[in-house]
Amino acid sequence: MLPYPNIDPVLIGFGPLQIRWYGLMYLLGFLFSYLVVRYQLARQKSPLLSKDQLLDLYFYLVLGLILGARLGYVLFYNLKEYWQHPLELVAVWHGGMSFHGGLLGVLLAVWWYCRKNRISLLALGDLIIVTAPIGLGLGRLANFINGELFGRVTSVPWGMIFPQGGPWPRHPSQLYEAFLEGGVLFFLLWIHKSRKAFSGILVSYFLIWYGLFRILVEFFREPDVQIGYLWGFLTMGQLLSVLMILAGFSLVVCRRGEKTTQGERQRQKSP
């Protein structure tokens, strides 16, 4: 068994003012994402966005992620509790953020921004989605520091006793997710970035690979207490991840079908 490091969730405190690791990880995730997107734009012959447009975009991304993640947690994981205590909805410092809700919020923000500025949704999606694992990995590290979202009881040598997890060693599932959803997923998307078959393929890869990784880790992660298992064997995270995978494969099929149709039309027009 490994000792849990028991890091103080508050990085710096000045009386009632506190800077928490969780908030810092969110900030770093957006910062690194912004820098990586700028790097990609600088290497494009005809940049998809200007620097000013990119700053505007990230304002909406931050808004979409935070609102989506909070509302997603409320709707997917704890609707009864927030229905009874509606003022807790704004108490984000108490925790309760959903990745799947945050993803929906970001997708809506990007869709609205692309429609407003007449930019290709899938092209912009490919540009941004490559950076998503950075924030995911940092966020899971923050979960580990907070001692939340820990794993199931285990006898493996690297099990840890989390302060909120009782006296039993548990899987450090936050670190599993940081490695798979952060490091491995970023590597997979980055190596495919320069050999895209069509716009939107990186978005589909992200949906499929994240869904697979999340389903796998959920077998080691303790289900949410207020929900438990759905139908006796499935977690909410696995159910939402299955929908992600289906969406990813559907996008691949649709885009390949469009590309095939366009190719046939071009051959018919050629003499």
Mean pLDDT, 10 residues at a time, the chain of 271 residues: 91 80 90 95 90 93 90 80 70 70 91 92 94 95 94 96 94 97 96 84 95 97 87 90 96 79 50 51
User: How far is the C-alpha of 163 from the C-alpha of 261, rounded, in Å?
Assistant: 57
> Is 3 contained in some domain?
no
Domain presence at residue 42: yes
What domain range is 154 assigned to? 10-265
pLDDT for residue 90: 64
| Residue type for position 26 | Y
DSSP state of 228: -
- Is the residue at 243 inside a domain? yes
DSSP at 45: S
Domain presence at residue 270: no
Per-residue pLDDT at 260: 57
Residue 104 lies in a domain: yes
Residue 2 lies in a domain: no
Please state, in angstroms and as integers, the Cα–Cα distance from residue 172 to each residue in 62, 137, 138, following that order. 28, 14, 15
- State the total domains in the chain: 1
Q: Does residue 5 lie in a domain region?
A: no
Q: How far apart are CA 225 and CA 143, in angstroms?
A: 16
Identify whether 191 is part of a domain.
yes
> What is the separation, in whole angstroms, between the first and last Cα of the chain?
72
